[in-house]
Structure 1
């Protein structure tokens, strides 16, 4: 401890910037967050993003970097009260803003962005967001694993499914409502969990909450949200809006149990345990995005040394338990009465195992193409799984959901025809939020509703329960070499991987 300054100040006094600056060494490290000083000397070693980023702001104001990737209650939860050192006189603190050569150009692009009414589909929001988001945020949201083949396949797989419409059915009145885990919703999609909402919008995930509340769709709350869990719950409180929790399982099971029980106490209607992320995948766009000091070179995953110094994803992932296995399912069943759903199931054998274990549902998902490249699309797995469940008479024992690549209401209809209870949509709502805020999310959801009403009429179904396998042809789905129709919108929006320039390689 640096003895030039006292450990605490009287409540009526505030630290000066000069005094905070004296605590800037590895053995005596303080930072300023939202005008308050915190002693993070001992916490550095436990920080999921590593100690390097903390040392960069030792003795300085770290608020600007801290905000987008931390819920506001993080310090209250994880830093002992005696390490909260008191208020700082911010007039005496020199705030450093990192120079971003693209920022002025980005502000000009924002001035020229299309008006909201010019967005006619979810791809339009992605195209606008790509131009107006900060490069680091865009890289984090848009990146997929390795060569991003699975990420693209998630979308293109839907183009291999063709409709077999019925005619002369009364479709004057269309009912899109359904139930998911016994919650009644107005349309069969949900906002799936996506991390770090404040990278795209300063208000973060509560914008998605408000949009979902207006349209009566489910929001899945992410473990790695920028807003606190309680903030997101509070934004829905009193509305009857159903919410689910996506859970990354912590190595410390006491922490996991506390999170699960708190969620249940807040009225969360489903626990979605992520099972496809024992280690976060290699997302190269994110790694190149100048998050070049958001962590250390140590990742606690059984001795596997992975450089987490590049990329937001790896900077927030070290707490995830790679030892999670089927043997943990009974423990979860013992600590909660919430329905348990395994998120990230990718083959029929594991669905059957989930039925045997007595879980209430699975999400057929490859993590938005962000984990294992060359994993099959969720919709392809669904087409494989459902006939087996029906053959064994198990179709009513478990609810199936699918996510990844959904961009049109026709995609939703195809998934429901094949037996899904609903589909998860993530990135498109992030892009709508990042470009236009709540009005963007509202319009994106309304566009999907309008598309779905029209396409339900055209396929010959007046309600969700009329959608069944005979309405689709899936013969080309498992043939990965089969050509698909050229997807002009998708190809124009897709942001390809870029190799570093020759100069950087030398």
Structure 2
């Protein structure tokens, strides 16, 4: 059956709440009945009623999101794009300045560390993207602690070992990896670059590391899988839907597509208050009291809350047997934050846990993953006689990692591998796929140097006796200041009067 082809004039007539059509990628959709259910609120859709919404849709939705959420009868047909009135895109003065800064980026050869990507991204990203990527919970204590915790762990290098050849490759869930890292799941990649998560997929293939695909990717799941090279291994991060049938279908589809491990996020029954994100969202669009009264999601809670309303806060230990029934993939709990839960995960027969506080984006004052790692290793040895690293029950850590030395410390303490997220977001936001590749090359070079200096020819030689973690649990302790990290860290801005904010922005443009 041939779908109908509409003219732009026909679509433009449906520009009200009572009859709302939009155009996305040349297709016409009737979203009238969907307006109250849109996680981001009805107002943003009504802004594009009767118009082409592609530019607004693309950065924050997978390509197939609209077809999955609308019944077939609401997918009306195609539009003759030559007849569609173009939505005028107003380039703000701030964006012009940002574009000028983008043109002044240093060459990749001048990028020396993962910190450098963050410094450049902060200057060249748009406000919404930067606010979403960099934000963390409440006073942002935990996001800083995640990094600072590594500074309370010191090396005990060994000497006179033959390190002519060093090998930092490993296996993660039995899968070869060129480094003891994986690219951990981070949402909304297109906020930083038009290719979104595909930058990570392609770079991961080139450098032989594993990419964890996020549930809330901007690119569709199948698009990411299709971009992988033959034999490339990928994991899936899962937010569990309140509708278990949706989750079952997604998980089983992922298994059929060859996903090698299912990482179930367990630290997000509700997403945390990320005030940079919330404040940016508020500034971007003034609330409409009439609109707010009919919305199911409060948009003042920021982009993170808006895209996550489907997550089931009722997820519990009793659901684990159900996951074992629907898939044969290794099951890993992502977001474990104490030894008691790690022990139960082991007793439940899971393949491992990620000791993580969600990049500091959930509960502020949650401890760092590497601190929790120390107690988990000690307690699981005491309670179950386990030694780590352990092939049958693997420990992973994420949050705050910026150097290969951070990874080496975690491995010495018992981790199989470490997840790295934000630095790769900043890398592709600044330089695209080449930025991610450069970031992986930087880590490659750091591993080579630090393995030699530590006296460890292979990752198996990186053992507990090579680190002193006696201060890791001391949260008030003098540590050397990390100038690069704190130079990049943007403090939380308080509320400001409009006149003062306008004056500050005007001064910044001068």
**1:121 is aligned to 2:113:** yes
**1:193 is aligned to 2:188:** no
What's 2:327 paired with?
336
Instruction: Map 1:76-225 onto structure 2 (within 5 A).
Output: 76-92=67-83, 93-225=85-217
Report the Cα distance in structure 1 between the residues aligned to 2:292 and 2:253, rounded to whole angstroms: 33
Where 2:120 maps in the other structure, the secondary structure is: helix
Which residue, 381, 393, 402 being the options, matches 2:372? 381
Where 1:390 maps in the other structure, the secondary structure is: helix
Report the Cα distance in structure 2 between the residues aligned to 1:216 and 1:58, rounded to whole angstroms: 45
Report the Cα distance in structure 1 between the residues aligned to 2:37 and 2:272, rounded to whole angstroms: 22
Report the Cα distance in structure 1 between the residues aligned to 2:197 and 2:324, rounded to whole angstroms: 28
What's 1:393 paired with?
385
Say which is worse superposed, 281-290 or 111-120, in terms of deviation: 281-290
Which residue, 50, 54, 63 being the options, matches 2:45? 54
What's 1:242 paired with?
233
Report the Cα distance in structure 2 between the residues aligned to 1:322 and 1:104, rounded to whole angstroms: 42
- CA spacing shift, 1:297–1:426, aligned 2, 3 Å: farther
Gaps of 5+ in 2: 502-510
Report the Cα distance in structure 2 between the residues aligned to 1:217 and 1:112, rounded to whole angstroms: 31
What's 1:361 paired with?
352
Instruction: Map 1:232-381 onto structure 2 (within 5 A).
Output: 232-238=224-230, 240-290=231-281, 292-293=284-285, 307-309=298-300, 311-381=302-372
**1:67 is aligned to 2:62:** no
**1:480 is aligned to 2:475:** yes
Deviation at 1:58, TM superposition (A): 1.7
Deviation at 1:480, TM superposition (A): 0.6
Aligned-CA RMSD value: 2.0
- CA spacing shift, 1:10–1:335, aligned 2, 3 Å: closer
Report the Cα distance in structure 2 between the residues aligned to 1:14 and 1:299, rounded to whole angstroms: 33
Say whether the 8 Å CA contact 1:207–1:438 is kept in structure 2: yes
* The structure with more helix, counted as a fraction of residues: 2
Say whether the 8 Å CA contact 2:183–2:211 is kept in structure 1: yes
Once the two structures are superposed, residues 74-133 of structure 1 have per-residue CA deviations (whole angstroms, 9 ceiling, x without a partner) of: 122221121111222233323132553311001110111111110000000100111111
Where 2:28 maps in the other structure, the secondary structure is: strand
Where 1:37 maps in the other structure, the secondary structure is: strand
Say whether the 8 Å CA contact 2:41–2:297 is kept in structure 1: no
Report the Cα distance in structure 2 between the residues aligned to 1:104 and 1:321, rounded to whole angstroms: 41
Deviation at 1:236, TM superposition (A): 1.2
Deviation at 1:14, TM superposition (A): 3.2
Report the Cα distance in structure 2 between the residues aligned to 1:394 and 1:25, rounded to whole angstroms: 63
Say whether the 8 Å CA contact 1:126–1:432 is kept in structure 2: yes
Deviation at 1:49, TM superposition (A): 2.4
Where 1:333 maps in the other structure, the secondary structure is: helix
Where 2:443 maps in the other structure, the secondary structure is: helix
Once the two structures are superposed, residues 294-318 of structure 1 have per-residue CA deviations (whole angstroms, 9 ceiling, x without a partner) of: 9975899xxxx87323522122011
Report the Cα distance in structure 2 between the residues aligned to 1:46 and 1:432, rounded to whole angstroms: 34
**1:451 is aligned to 2:443:** no
Report the Cα distance in structure 2 between the residues aligned to 1:492 and 1:346, rounded to whole angstroms: 28
Where 1:60 maps in the other structure, the secondary structure is: coil
- CA spacing shift, 1:41–1:123, aligned 2, 3 Å: same
Say whether the 8 Å CA contact 1:159–1:484 is kept in structure 2: yes
Once the two structures are superposed, residues 139-182 of structure 1 have per-residue CA deviations (whole angstroms, 9 ceiling, x without a partner) of: 11011111110001101110110001111111111111111111
- CA spacing shift, 1:354–1:297, aligned 2, 3 Å: farther
Deviation at 1:21, TM superposition (A): 2.0
Report the Cα distance in structure 1 between the residues aligned to 2:243 and 2:165, rounded to whole angstroms: 51
Say whether the 8 Å CA contact 1:129–1:434 is kept in structure 2: yes
Report the Cα distance in structure 1 between the residues aligned to 2:473 and 2:408, rounded to whole angstroms: 19
Say which is worse superposed, 94-103 or 186-195, in terms of deviation: 94-103
What's 2:404 paired with?
409
- CA spacing shift, 1:352–1:297, aligned 2, 3 Å: farther
Normalised to the residue count of structure 1, the TM-score between the two structures is 0.93
Deviation at 1:451, TM superposition (A): 0.3
Deviation at 1:476, TM superposition (A): 1.2
Deviation at 1:27, TM superposition (A): 2.4
Report the Cα distance in structure 1 between the residues aligned to 2:346 and 2:39, rounded to whole angstroms: 34
Where 2:299 maps in the other structure, the secondary structure is: coil
Once the two structures are superposed, residues 204-256 of structure 1 have per-residue CA deviations (whole angstroms, 9 ceiling, x without a partner) of: 10110011001110100000001110111111141x22100000000100100
- CA spacing shift, 1:426–1:290, aligned 2, 3 Å: same
What's 2:496 paired with?
501
Report the Cα distance in structure 2 between the residues aligned to 1:299 and 1:423, rounded to whole angstroms: 43
- CA spacing shift, 1:199–1:116, aligned 2, 3 Å: same
Count of equivalent residues: 492
Say whether the 8 Å CA contact 1:190–1:217 is kept in structure 2: yes
Normalised to the residue count of structure 2, the TM-score between the two structures is 0.93
